Amino acid sequence: MRIQSVRGMSDILPDQVGAWRYLEQIVQRIFSAYGLTQIRTPIVEDTELFARSIGNVTDIVEKEMYTFEDRSGDSLTLRPELTAGVVRAAIEHGLLHNQTQRLWYQGQAFRHERPQKGRYRQFHQIGVECFGIADALMDAELIEITDQIWKELGIRDCVTLQINSIGSTEARAKYRTALIDFLAAHKDQLDRDSLARLERSPLRVLDSKNDSTQALLRSAPSLMDYLTEADREHFDLLRRALKDADIGFAVNPLLVRGLDYYSRTVFEWTTEALGSQGTICGGGRYDGLVDHLGGKSTPGVGFALGMERVVLLMEALAVIPDTYRTQADVYLMPQKQACEEAIRKLARLLRQEFPSLRVLTHIGGGSLKSQLKRADKSGALFGLIIGQSELESGHIVCKPLRGGEQETLSEAGLLKRMSILRDS
């Protein structure tokens, strides 16, 4: 029996990897333009870290973590998200003492969910965490970064932004009591899931997908009415800053998110184009988390986008440039064994003159026809051919592979032709 990949954990194959690289390059360029620096943390952390940060009574911690005992008997967990590890590292290495940090990261996360399109057990996130800035302008700037990513990827028209403020801890505590009273008085109208949530994590009832529960929630007390004056000002400033930046949004008072560490701002970007797994990015503020994990109280705010979902959307909208789908720009073909040295010399020259040009040399002989087939498959724009007569005259045949006239060029002429390719 052949061994298969683990269910819900996919390989990213050579013909898919271009889309990923394109996404990474755009995102990393934008991060650098906003002055963010990268942090890399381990995939495995102490189980306690996630239980304490994400919350014991969340789906992630209760049902979805890959937890195991290692050979020393320690309980370890494959990270279900990256925020907790970044906060741990920032505290552990003193990155939060009298300084602000704007960090980005990228990597795998693991959740034992039921796999379907857009939902996997191993998936990849790219995200940002900023520490030391309580101002809502920081929240707005993070949202602006995500908006910029969608714009540069060409998917902005297909995504919408929802925001909410879930207030400070005191506001939520008061609201929680009011919500429990309300829901307890209408238990008969709640679905089974919501009844369970009411016992353990009442705010999560707001997240219910059940229609009759949603209908009931329309007359439930609203979290907005319980925000403190400072919470309200914070949320007002965020909305003003988003308007100033011309970023459209909808306030969704039922948006609470599935992790316990949030306070005040929460947001999600969603799309209709991917079916039920339409949330491509989520984030928010977590002013109590650093303190809760044993650090000196420090405000924090961040987001993470799901790379698989963004790539699916990019593919659906066909926004990935061709050069990210192909292997080579030029494909060099020696027509006889005697021409092989000349071809390799030419390849070295091209790589030296044009470091970003992708130069693939044919190895292994074969007819011109079969070599051209390979050239075509590589996605190259030009085939460069040296046969006996070119070897003697010092010329190169330059054959456009996507339409256009074939030319016989000198080395200098070829370099000129290739520089046009580079500039186009």
Residues near ligand HAM (CB under 6 A): 81, 83, 111, 113, 119-120, 123, 125, 127, 129, 258-259, 279-284, 302-306, 308-309
The CB-of-347 to ligand HAM minimum distance in angstroms stands at 41
Minimal distance, residue 267 CB to ligand HAM, in Å = 9
Separation in Å, CA 114 to CA 51, 111, 258, 308, 339: 21, 9, 16, 16, 56
In the bound complex, what is the minimum distance in angstroms from residue 9's beta carbon to ligand HAM? 11
Q: Which is nearer to ligand HAM, 22 or 120 (CB)?
A: 120
Neighbour-count burial of 357, counting CB atoms closer than 10 A to its CB (0-12 exposed, 13-18 middle, 19+ buried): middle
Q: Which is nearer to ligand HAM, 301 or 380 (CB)?
A: 301
For residues 55 and 260, what is the distance between their CA atoms, to the nearest angstrom? Answer: 5
In this structure, the number of other CB atoms found within 10 A of the CB of residue 274 comes to 19
Query: Is 146 or 194 the residue whose CB approaches ligand HAM more closely?
Result: 146
Quick one: 231 or 390, whose CB is closer to ligand HAM?
231
The least distance separating ligand HAM from the CB of residue 127, rounded to whole angstroms, comes to 5
For residue 271, the 8-state DSSP code is: E
CB-nearer residue toward ligand HAM: 217 or 305: 305
Q: N- to C-terminal Cα distance for the chain?
A: 50
- Distances in Å between the Cα of 76 and the Cα atoms of 35, 66, 244, 293, 393 are 33, 8, 45, 17, 68
Cβ atoms < 10 Å from Cβ of 305: 23
Provide, rounded to whole angstroms, the least separation between the CB of residue 283 and ligand HAM: 4
- Closer to ligand HAM at the Cβ: 113 or 340? 113
Instruction: Using the minimum distance from each CB to ligand HAM, give the nearer residue, 127 or 167.
Output: 127
Nearer to ligand HAM, 250 or 363 (CB): 250
Q: Residue 365 and residue 96: Cα distance in Å, rounded?
A: 61
Quote the CA–CA distance of 203 and 170 in Å, as a whole number. 14
Do strands 37-38 and 101-110 pair parallel, antiparallel, or not at all (unpaired)?
A: parallel
Secondary structure (3-state) at 5: coil
Joined together, the tokens standing for residue 148 give: 């910029």
| Closest distance of CB 358 from ligand HAM, Å | 31
Q: Which residue is nearest to ligand HAM (CB)?
A: 306
Q: How far is the CB of 304 from ligand HAM (least distance, A)?
A: 4
Q: How far is the CB of 384 from ligand HAM (least distance, A)?
A: 43
Q: b vs e for 73-105, b when ≥16 Cβ sit within 10 Å of the residue's Cβ?
A: eeebbbbbbbbbbbbbbbbeeebbeeeebbbbb
* Minimum CB distance to ligand HAM, residue 195 (Å): 24
Task: Look at the alpha carbons of 373, 374, 375, 377 in this order and tell me if their dihedral is positive or negative.
Answer: positive
Beta strands in 203-278 (DSSP E): 250-251, 265-271
Task: Pick the closer one to ligand HAM by CB: 263 or 361.
Answer: 263
Place of tokens 């990261």: 105
Token output for 18: 């271009």
Dihedral of alpha carbons 389, 395, 399, 404, sign: negative
